Amino acid sequence: MASDPAADRTGGILPYSRLTHMTIQAWCPFQSGTEYGPFVGNEHFPELNVELTRLAGKYGSTPNGIAVAWILRHPAGIQPLLGSMTPERIRQMAAGADIELERRDWWSLYQAAGNPLV
């Protein structure tokens, strides 16, 4: 949905969690919420993956690491619950905890994911 009311896809839970200091846990946050599965490395999300790859180069990381860094930098203090059957992917995701994205880079990923300006 591209309309303005669709910009709040959480029903207000993220702003509420910030006001009440409630921790949000993101289960499987790499899933796209579509029939296409995970968004990292997925051809159905080209703009987002170009930006993930660009930032991976800038920060000496991987797209998986940058995605984790983005979640951890979210102002709501989201706690991601990650999993994978691939040990290397788990290492890449864990390394994201050591990356502090600049605000400009966080915002560029937000926009590349197709989120409207808020």
pLDDT digits over 1-50, tens only? Answer: 455 554 556 678 888 888 998 998 888 888 888 888 899 999 999 999 99
The DSSP 8-state label assigned to residue 77 in this structure reads -
Q: Quick count: other Cβ atoms within 10 Å of Cβ 24?
A: 17
Strands (E), 15-107: 25-27, 79-81
- What's the predicted TM-score (pTM) here? 0.83
